[in-house]
Amino acid sequence: AVKRKHGAPAARPKKRAKRAPSAPEPDAKPGPGGAGPEEYSVPPPVSQGKWKNKERVLIFSSRGINFRTRHLMQDLRTLMPHSKADTKMDRKDQLFVINEVCEMKNCNKCIFFEAKKKQDLYMWLSNTPQGPSAKFLVQNVHTLAELKMTGNCLRGSRPLLSFDPTFDKEPHYALLKELFIQIFSTPQYHPKSQPFVDHVFTFTITDERIWFRNYQIIEEDASLVEIGPRFVLNLIKIFQGSFGGPTLYENPHYQSPNMHRRLVRLSVAAKFREKQQVKEAQNIKKKGSKVLIEEDPTEVVFETPAEEKPVEIQLVKPESKPIVKDKKKPRKIQRKKQKKLFRTE
């Protein structure tokens, strides 16, 4: 307690700053008024690792894409925190211009969606600016917003990459596997990423195509629930350079969409021609002269003759039927007359 002098304000005690119980006592530096303020240490961040793998992926498209491609591109940007966006590229520009765009955006990988005829979608995966690059035809696209995808994952979390065993058996698939690893895997300690692994990217080879799926890992029983998006990549060519250069591999099983549509039209036309030919053959058969077949004598063997009835000739005229008059008819006529008289009156 402090004694209060007569006529002077009461002196309030100074507030002391609270110290952390585990922190060591800092050395107090003497100030002009006595002991100085206490010093506190700032706790270090959760992860002290450095972002060494500076992989940045540029994801953009050409003009003329439809809404489904736009949603697919946005889904890939959402799932890949190390991606960057850019404006759509004009279709008149050459593809090697993308290397300069990647250099301006400070990106060393690129996913480029190229639309043709407003119905065909092609995807380029490239390591800029040296190469290699691969061109795919994208089929069976389903986006994140569709109701059949019930899974969910943390935004910015790191995915596991699961590959089919066929990727290690053939050289061109091994090259694609390394390209997929460098593009789709989130770098460790990326500033925009989260230190969690809660979903899986699967790359499966079936029917000479690469099937992409994204699954959520449920912690309770380690089961998988599909998140999306999903699409199928049909490999066309692998180039040595970025968006061009010598061809390293060409898919012999690939059939262009134009050729597929042409074959469908030819099959429909062939069916129509076949029907017309059948009709013409039937008309010719109808118009042709009929061949008279001689009677076969053995046909009468199983015929049984009918009983012959004597012919009766009627000489007398048959009696006429009596005409029966309707007894109720005069009564009806009389009622009609009475009704007419009643109406006139």
∠ Cα 171 135 201 (to 5°): 70
Q: Do 250 and 172 meet the contact criterion of CB atoms below 8 Å apart?
A: no
Phi then psi dihedrals of residue 246, to 5 deg: -65, 145
State both tokens at 152. 């969910």
CA-CA distance, 111 to 107, in Å (whole number)? 11
Per-residue pLDDT of the chain (345 residues; tens, 9 = 90+): 455 556 555 555 555 555 544 444 444 444 444 444 567 776 655 555 788 888 999 999 999 999 999 999 999 999 999 999 999 999 888 999 999 999 999 999 999 999 999 899 999 999 998 989 999 999 999 998 887 788 889 999 999 999 999 999 999 999 999 999 999 999 988 989 988 899 999 999 999 999 999 999 998 788 999 998 999 999 999 999 999 999 999 999 999 999 999 999 999 999 999 999 999 999 988 887 677 778 888 888 888 888 888 888 888 888 887 776 666 677 778 888 888 888 887
Neighbour tally for 158: CB within 10 Å: 18
CA-CA distance, 333 to 328, in Å (whole number)? 9
SS3 labels along the chain: CCCCCCCCCCCCCCCCCCCCCCCCCCCCCEECCEECCCCCCCCCCCCCCCCCCCCCEEEEEECCCCHHHHHHHHHHHHHCCCEEECCCECCCCCCCHHHHHHHHCCCCEEEEEEEECCCEEEEEEEECCCCCEEEEEEEEEECCCCCCCCCCCCCCEEEEEEECHHHHCCHHHHHHHHHHHHHHCCCCCCCCCEEEEEEEEEEEEECCEEEEEEEEECCCCCCEEECCCEEEEEEEEEEEECCEEEEEEECCCCCCHHHHHHHHHHHHHHHHHHHHHHHHHHHHHHHCCCCCCCCCHHHHCCCCCCCCCCCCCCCCCCCCCCCCCCCCHHHHHHHHHHHHHHHHC
State the burial class of residue 153 (Cβ atoms within 10 Å of its Cβ: 0-12, 13-18, 19+). Answer: buried
| Long-range contacts formed by 29-38: CB under 8 A, 24+ apart | none
∠ Cα 265 267 272 (to 5°): 95
Q: Which amino acid is at 143?
A: T
Nearest to 127 by CA among 239, 26, 211, 49: 239
Q: Do 187 and 193 meet the contact criterion of CB atoms below 8 Å apart?
A: yes
pLDDT of residue 87: 93
List of domains in the chain = 57-259 (3.40.50.10480)
CA 167 to chain centre: 24
State both tokens at 235. 């490999």
Each residue's pLDDT tens digit, 129-149: 898 999 999 999 999 888 778
pLDDT of residue 306: 81
